[in-house]
Amino acid sequence: MEQESLLIEVINKAKNWLSAEYDEETRKEVQRMLDAEDKTELIEAFYKDLEFGTGGLRGIMGVGSNKMNIYTMGAATQGLSNYLKKEFAKLDEIKVVIGYDCRNNSRKFAEISADIFSANGIRAYLFDDLRPTPEVSFAIRELKAQSGIILTASHNPKEYNGYKCYWEDGAQVVSPHDKNIISEVNSVRTAADIKFKGNKKLITIIGEEIDSIYLDKITTISLSPDSIAAQNDLKIVYTPIHGTGVRLIPAILQKIGFKNVIHVEEQDVVSGNFPTVVSPNPEEPAALELAVKKAIATDADLVLASDPDADRMGVAVKNSAGEFVLLNGNQIASIFIYYILRRNSELGRLTGKEYIVKTIVTTELIKKIADKQGVECFDCYTGFKWIAAVIRENEGIKQYIGGGEESYGFLAQDFVRDKDAVSACALMAEVTAWAKGMGKTLFDLLLDIYVEYGYSMECGISVVKKGKSGAEEIARMMQGFHANAPKEIAGSRVSVIKDYKTLYDTDVESGEKSIMDMPTTSDVIQYFTEDGTKVSVRPSGTEPKIKFYIELKDKLSSREEYDNVVAASKSRIQAVKDSLNI
């Protein structure tokens, strides 16, 4: 009966898309799905509206209210326009910045967005070609715009596209603006409510002039220019994985002094079909396979990669056996924090007002490094909008000098307010040159960090649950983790539970609860055990996944012990997975 009711609702909703407000191609596709005997495709396209969440939209491209298309994207832009006009009613001119990446339809969606903004009397600064997400954040601040968007689905498969929304500080929107924008977007019910006919006088094309200012600013974050000068022939293999990083990352590496940047020609080809990879995700070894092959062939020192919108980075380095291995996001962030704090200390720049930020699911090793240098470390929710929120709260009071998350995002400066692979790639090349000047590889440097601060192994597991039934199952699983905490994990007693849905931090033995200081609640649960294990569970905000983050602690007395400690930790990781049935 429930399925019949859903089908009736879906059919009625789909029939609305047959009206004259929708283009002919869309109407034909809707009619095809309505006429099909199997209604599965129709249900997936219309069983809900593609949700404009706190970060924007992301979904599979196609026809229907639950897909990414000119109407769902157009409703988002119209809703944002409506809110901007209310929020900034006193301004003579409201300004937005529009960027887009390499994905199929990104340019089309960006141009339509510019038309909609301009039709609503809003000045639209539209990039002339694809650009990295962090440059859009930078341009919002540079042009003193009130908002901005970028059309991207980050590292998702080729079927996806997305729409990220930013506020006047260059950061993704947070409360109260996120909820207010969502309310305005939800009030746009049909295509007739969207102003598609643009005003070309209010569309300004921007490009290389912003690139130049942005790259100049990135050069200011260098902490060891002498190391770059001494190691300017460092062999760096770089791949944009068919994405927008191809425009600026080789350029910044050259600009700061590196003369030997080696391209992966097949992946320099800009394409939303990502022809050489299954997934353009720098977390996955397969995405860096061609770059590693190139590095082996050229005896390179370092492999750098960026995802399609160039906000996240991947890194591969030679291990002690001379084989290239990929660093995970926690290792990348740890190296950055270690380097930034050590070099600032050596240069006499630590005044006591500096701080770093990490997300709650990111390695605790970062806090250990900060504590030793006497630098404050803030914890925040997953997502760079929360790191940006910490920066905004401390503006003019304390100095941000770095922050990152386990998902391969890092920000080494505050003139951008989102993760930035352009500046991160430049800084990682510098760290490698600095280490080489001391007779070390980047891998040696990582092992030295482990020896000094303790070894940490992290493991991320994503369980995919697609469609309506998948979303319901993820919700049930999360309810179970909140309501029924395990007594022990892999033989070690659970001692602390942090439930971000209630904001209670519970000492299991005493039962004592304390309230956590967080800006809002979130559907995340964390378990801490007596042996130092940390397990975090949360649903993905952008993909149909439930995500598990496991972190183990151990001691590393010397570099030579590394392989044995890793093997033991892998065995413990499996025991944790078995305990949680994942």
* CATH number of the domain encompassing residue 562: 3.30.310
- Both 13 and 118 in one domain: the answer is no
d(CA 511, CA 513): 6
Instruction: Note the pLDDT of residue 465.
Output: 86
pLDDT at 1 > cutoff 60: no
Q: What percent of the chain has pLDDT over 90?
A: 91
Total residue count of the chain as it appears in this document: 582
- Both 306 and 346 in one domain: the answer is yes
β-strands 123-127, 203-206 pairing: parallel
Please give the positions annotated as active site.
154
- Both 343 and 370 in one domain: the answer is yes
pLDDT band at 150 (very low <50, low <70, confident <90, very high): very high
Mean pLDDT computed over 33-51: 92
Beta-sheet strand order (sheet of 203-206): 56-60, 160-167, 147-151, 95-100, 123-127, 203-206
- Both 62 and 37 in one domain: the answer is no
- Both 32 and 55 in one domain: the answer is no
Quick one: three-class SS letters along 459-497? EEEEEECCHHHHHHHHHHHHHHHHHCCCCEECCEEEEEE
Mean pLDDT computed over 548-554: 96
d(CA 333, CA 312): 12
- What does the pLDDT look like over 110-134, one tens digit per residue? 999 999 999 999 999 999 999 999 9
- What does the pLDDT look like over 268-315, one tens digit per residue? 999 999 999 999 999 999 999 999 999 999 999 999 999 999 999 999
d(CA 42, CA 22): 17
Which CATH number covers residue 168?
Answer: 3.40.120.10
Mean pLDDT computed over 54-73: 92
Instruction: Note the pLDDT of residue 5.
Output: 83
Instruction: Note the pLDDT of residue 4.
Output: 78
Mean pLDDT computed over 408-423: 97
User: In the chain, how many domains are there?
Assistant: 4
pLDDT at 553 > cutoff 80: yes
Instruction: Note the pLDDT of residue 2.
Output: 60
Of 428, 453, 478, the one marking the end of a domain is 453
Cis peptide bond prior to 176, omega within 30° of 0: yes
Range of the domain at 189: 50-206
The DSSP secondary structure of 122-168, one letter per residue, reads -EEEEESS---HHHHHHHHHHTT-SEEEEE--TTS-TTEEEEEEEET
- Both 401 and 484 in one domain: the answer is no
- What does the pLDDT look like over 460-469, one tens digit per residue? 999 888 877 8
pLDDT band at 472 (very low <50, low <70, confident <90, very high): confident
Instruction: Note the pLDDT of residue 54.
Output: 65
pLDDT at 53 > cutoff 80: no
- Both 27 and 80 in one domain: the answer is no
More confident residue, 175 or 553: 553
- Both 136 and 104 in one domain: the answer is yes
Mean pLDDT computed over 466-474: 84
Instruction: Note the pLDDT of residue 175.
Output: 87
- Both 76 and 10 in one domain: the answer is no
Instruction: Note the pLDDT of residue 490.
Output: 95
Element (H, E) at 528: strand 525-529
Instruction: Note the pLDDT of residue 292.
Output: 98
- Both 164 and 252 in one domain: the answer is no
d(CA 239, CA 557): 35
Name the residue among 207, 289, 204, 301 with its Cα closest to residue 248.
207
pLDDT at 425 > cutoff 80: yes
- Both 445 and 547 in one domain: the answer is no
- Both 349 and 321 in one domain: the answer is yes
- What does the pLDDT look like over 487-539, one tens digit per residue? 999 999 999 999 999 999 999 999 999 999 999 999 999 999 999 999 999 99
To the nearest 10°, report the CA torsion of 560, 561, 563, 568: 180
pLDDT at 202 > cutoff 90: yes
- Global pTM reads 0.94
- What does the pLDDT look like over 392-408, one tens digit per residue? 999 999 999 999 999 99
